[in-house]
Amino acid sequence: MRKQEKIGYGLVVLAVLLMLAGTVGITVEGSITDITTPNVPERTFFAEEPLPEQSLAVFVSATLTLTWDREDIYVVIADEDEKNTCESQPPGLFNQGSSTTCGPFDTDLVASGSDGTNGLRWEVQEGTYFAGIGTLDQDGLPDGTQVDLAYAVDLSAGFALYFVFALIGVAGLAYTRVE
């Protein structure tokens, strides 16, 4: 076997392995404990800081799965415009029982979850997004004042990386034909 064939087939094998690794991806897990929860039913309170931006969406796809330990809590993810809309509404006129505005069932939210066991699943997108938390409408006070969140972020190769891997494979096949 010639040197060019060895290098070329090596590139093809590398491209296939990179495609397999990109398909399987990696998962980053963690938890955040003792988050103070609001005691205002059906009112969403947003974080001051936005979530980290997904600037490599073309190269890497990310999926966030978030679960929590209480059933009277909901978690939402909203873009900056929706966050500003929700925060601009006065608390006294907020959600008079017939509206889903800025609550866990608002259709303008990017993602929401009202069941801590099933949690919230979000395909991370480019842009500025904020996480919000609130308590569901209930009789009496919430079950507690703190909540524990567990998260898992699944990272896998995006379209552009698969294209690069394919180019590496094609270049390897072409190099095996060099005389």
Residue 135 C-alpha from the chain's centroid? 21
Distances (CA, A) of 6 to 9, 20, 88, 117, 179: 5, 21, 65, 52, 13
Task: Report pLDDT digits (tens) over 81-125.
Answer: 888 888 877 665 554 454 566 777 788 888 888 888 888 999 988
Task: Report pLDDT digits (tens) over 139-161.
Answer: 655 666 788 888 999 999 999 99
- Model confidence at 169: pLDDT above 90: yes
At 113 the pLDDT is 86
Residue 158 CA to residue 162 CA, distance in Å, equals: 6
At 23 the pLDDT is 93
Q: What pTM was estimated for this model as a whole?
A: 0.77
Sorted by where each starts, the structural domains of the chain and their CATH numbers stand as 26-157 (2.60.120)
* Strands ordered across the beta sheet of 73-79: 45-46, 129-135, 73-79, 111-113
At 71 the pLDDT is 81
